[in-house]
Each structure stands twice: as structure tokens, then as C-alpha cells.
Structure 1
Amino acid sequence: MTFFRAFCIERSAPATREALCGRFLSLDETALDAGDVLIRVECSSVNFKDALAATGRGKVVRRFPCVGGIDLAGTVLRSAAPRFAPGEKVIATGYELGVAHHGGYAERALLPGGWLLPLPASLSSQESMAIGTAGLTAAMAITRMEENGLKPERGPVLVTGASGGVGTLAIDMLAGRGYEVVALTAKAEQADWLRGLGASRVMLRSELPLDAFKPLDKGIWAGVIDNLGGATLAWALSTSKPTGVVASIGLAADSHLSASMMPFVLRGVSLLGIDSVYAGFSVRERAWARLAADLRPRHLASIMRIIPFEALPQVFGEFIAARATGRTVVQIARSGETEDMT
């Protein structure tokens, strides 16, 4: 019987802001959930959602115990799915991973074949997880915005929550496509780094008139990728240009929206909701194809940090306290580990 390490989230209530509900366990394959593709997990990543799950905040996990990790990349060991054969590299993000189905924080994963995509040949497992759910979300947002008329010549694109995973990747991708990108962040110390990723200008969230903006203010933005929600999203809508496109991809600041109808009916602004968790196969396939080509981030090496599996519990607090920047990749497989694929 094969045993493997897993970071398993249990039902215990955290005593402090950064306490954990998870711990490392040794499991065997009988503990895995239903699926038709067995994967040797090589890498995963840390997202804000993973931190909420691991610390018991936000009621993210829907079954206990549950192996955390909403992203994974690895190699197929066994497959009953016709699309995949042993030895193939695959990636999985979203669906029920890490919340209702054992996820990527384990050396083994057993998943439905419909949740998997082939790893693009131009990306390594580490690079795919530096992109992960965050990059998939950004790519889906840019694709939807361009389908709704966004072009570089139409004007600047604002990215809010700019120093986080989605924000940094979105800035990099947009700048690579020739857009003028403006980064909005609460972290003044990250301004030079954001400019290095491609932002032409950096704005501080503390400078926004979030308590006193007009329902229809001066039109500035041809497009907006918003990670924050709440008043920031309402302000972004009010300052969008005629026929501007705003992609709502997160609610890190506020899950509520109180906004005027004026941007919609007087300027024809579009508000696009982006869901990367349950997006269909064709949407994911197209997004990953672009992530390996024209939307491939140019600065992945500076955006990502790689941590060993055993260091995973130490990083969740950074995300809860909004101290994390860029993308955190978790190296799951032990260095030099090999295994027969039968």
C-alpha cells in the first residue's frame, strides 16, 4: 500500500486570526475521493481562498476532513479516462478541489477526468501553478473584455488589488498586449515593482474619494479588472468611459455593491462577472491556450516564489493579513522522486 503526505483541513475552530484548521497527515490511496485519473502531484499554489480554508475563515470548506489546495499540476499515474494516459502532464483548477473534494496539497490526487486539462507544452508544472487559478481568472477576464470591445487604442485599463496574484498577472498580461495599465494598490512600497511588471502609473487606494464620488464621474477607464468589490467597484463603474468594460473577479474588500445605474444606461458600460471555479471545459481550454501564447506572463520569475511543501502552513497568515504579493507556488513532489506509471 502506498502512503503519501497531505495537508488535511479539519473542523476545529481557530483560536486566533492566523490559527490553522489543517495539519500534515500520512494517507493512503483508499482515503482519496472518487475519480478516474490518479495523479502524482508535483506543484500546487496558495490563493486567498486556500488561506480562508486552512484558517477556518469564510466557511470555504464544505466537507471535513478535506485536503486543501484549489490548484494542482502533476503527472498521470493511472487513468480510466480516455483523454489521458500514464505519463501525461496535467493541470486542474477550481471545481470542488480543496473545498468538497481532496485537493492539491497532497502527493497524490484522484480526480474526474473532466476536471483536467493537458499541461501546455510550453509551460512547466511550476510555471503553470505560478499562473494557476489567478492567471486563469485574469485571462478569462481579458478575453471577455476584448470580446466586448476592449482594445489598446480605446484608453487605459485599471487593475485594482494590483499587488495580489490576479492583479500582478493581469498587469503583466495587459501590458504585454499593448494596453496602458494603471495599477491600484494599498501598498505604496510595491509601486516600483508594479511598474516593472508593466504598469504605466500606480494609484494608492487611500487616495480614492470612495465616500464622495459622483454617480457618473469623469470617464477615465476603457476597462477595469476589479479584485475588490464594494465601493471601489462602484467608483470604477462611475469613472468608466462610454462603452467601457468592467470585469468583476473578486470581493477582497467587500461582497456588496451599491452603485448608480447611470454608467450602464447613460454610458453603456458593461459589468462582466468572471467565474473561474465552474467555467466549462471549452472556456478553460481557450484561456490556457492563450496563457501559453499571447497572454503568457512575461515576468513569472519575479511574480512567483517557490516554497517547499513543509513550509505551507507558515504562509497562510500572510494572505489573511493582506501581506502576500504575487504568486506562491508549493513544490509538492520531493526532489528527485520517481515512480513507475502503470
Structure 2
Amino acid sequence: MAIDVVPYTEEWIPAVQAFNRRMAEAGMHWGWYETPVDRWLPERGDARTWREHYLAVEDGRDVRGGYALKPHEWRVCGATHLVTDWQGPITEGVYSRRYNTLGLRLLREMLRQYPLLYSWGHGGLEQPMLVMLEKLGWLIHRTPFCLRVLRPLRFLRDNAYLRDTAARRLALDLAAFSGAGSVGLRLLHAAQRARGSRSAPAGASEFERFEGWADELWARVRDEYAVIALRDAATMNHLLPGGGWPAARKLRVMRGDRTLGWAVVMDTAMENDRRFGTLRVGSLVDALASPADAEAVVGAAYRDLRARGVDIVILNQAHPAWIAGFASHGFAILANRRAFAASPELQKAMAPFEETRLGLHLTNMDGHGPMRL
């Protein structure tokens, strides 16, 4: 078989649709985008982050896999680098031995295109990918999932991820209706709050566009992080266009006349979601502040989502100061739920990682964005 890697253009849409049908017929829930133009970052222009799509095409006819790349300017240990997130690869190797090495070939193609490569995710069914990456010399850094349950009864009754067997459903129903689950969750969050310290509350106001104040904030705090993606006003307006995807609200957090930072939040009513069922999910998908002000920004964003009536608030985060800020506001910190995988070249740029990991800022907006939120 002759397989070429080609850019995804409109002429390949029928072949991608056929690929998706074969995947579905094989019982796979994975597929690839049926349009080469993303809802997110559809145009590159002069932006310093963008998306690219590629397909693995056999004999000039059949699509056998695909992947996406998102280059983004990062500051790494004081230097500027183009660091690239990868999504996929999704290939027919998941069900056909004929293509079981195609994923590795596509990974090598990504590294050829952008050596400073990373991905942030790889939970659950993606564990075999982590094993392969470790064997290839990649750095694997595990990070937590942060969770705050605001409506315990709804959480226990409607969380699809926890209710995956009849026995678990019965146990959760008993916990919900007896009140034991609600009491336990409240005690858990209270214990988290008791361990942390909180500053005076800061105010949050919604805004439409990042302006000069956001550039001033970026210039002030960027060197307080060892590793962080560019978050100036132009880049953030490109990532979060008005009326585009993701459907997020932007909050400027201030104490008096001083801007402490900003937060990006989402409020999503789920419908038969395989993780959250029908819960109303609040998420904090991005934020920027000095690490010293992280707790205050967390508090402002959390209060905003709580006032909107969400059932739970969730997020992923890598920086210790931000994680501590969430713990201070009662969030349960569930360790090792997400993995940051960095290529050997990116690992070199971040060396020594035992030190730089303490200044690594990653949010759900990094990588391929707040998908499924």
C-alpha cells in the first residue's frame, strides 16, 4: 500500500466521510472532521496561533487516518519558541492490523513538521498512546482534574461517567436519596477550603474584547511563568472571537482599580453526554494572572459560575499556584487525571523539567481547546 500525507482540502471531504463510515461500522466512536475548515481558528491571517489538518491517503484515493496541528508561540524559560499541539492521529489501525503502524508513522510526520510537539490529555482509552510515547523518549507529566460539586443530588443522579454499571447506579441513588452523598461531598469541599488561605474577594466584570489592559497584564506577569503560551490581547481575541467557538464568557478580575487578571468561563447544559449526562457544567477554561493573584481570580470566576446556577465546576490546570487556588475554594483535586506529553526536543527546551514544571501554566484552552465543554 502507498500512503501519502496530504493537507486536508475540500476535494477530500467525500473520502473522509467514507472513512468515518468505516470507523462507525467497526464500532469505533472516533472519526475525523468532515470539513477542512475549523469552527475554531478558521483563518490564520497574521495570528501567532493557527490550526492545520492533514490526511493519510492510500493509493491517492482512500483516507485511512487524519491529524491536526496547532502551532502557538510560547515563552519557554525566557525564550520564544513555536510549540505545537497535536490532535489525533485517528487511523483505521484501531480496528485493522493492516494499518496498525500508521499512527506511529503519522506521529513521526508531525515531528518532522514541528519538532517542539506536545499534547495535553490522554486519559482513559488513550493510555496505550502514553506507553508508546514513553518508549519513544517523550516526557510524560501528569496533572490533576479539579472538581467542585454545587448540587450534590443532581451530580449523584445525573453523572453518566460514574453511573456506568447497575451496581454503581444503585449505590449512587442510595447515596443521593439518603442524603449521605450530599453530606460527604460537602465535607470533602469544606476540608479542602480549610487547608487553604483566601485573600479579600475581587470583583469580576464581563467584557467582549481583550484590549490594552490585557497586554499590560501579559507584559507584567509573563516572566513569572517558566512555560506559558502567548496570551496577549491579539492572540486571545483570535482564540476567543465574539460569537464564535467556544461559546465562552470573558471576565476581567479587579481589586479596586488594579487588574489582577482575567478568566474565561463556560456554562453548558449537557444533553446525554457520555461523561456528564444532563448536568449543567460550569468550566474555567482559561485564566491569566500573577501566580500570587491566582487564588483571587479563581474565587471571582467560581462565584460567577455559582451565581449562574451550574451543578458542577470543572477544569484542568498544571501550575501549582493555580491548583492551590482552586483547593482554597473547596475544589477536589483529583491527581494524575491528565497527561502533558512533550517531545524530546520540547523536553530539551524546558530542561531541567523538575524545576520548570513548577512554573508550567496549562489550561483547557491550551492544545485543541475546551472540546466537549
Instruction: Give the TM bin, normalised by the shorter chain.
Output: under 0.3
Instruction: Please tell me whether Structure 1 or Structure 2 has the larger radius of gyration of its CA atoms.
Output: 2
TM-score normalised by the chain length of structure 2: 0.25
TM-score normalised by the chain length of structure 1: 0.27
Bigger RCO of structures 1 and 2 (CA < 8 A, at least 6 apart): 2
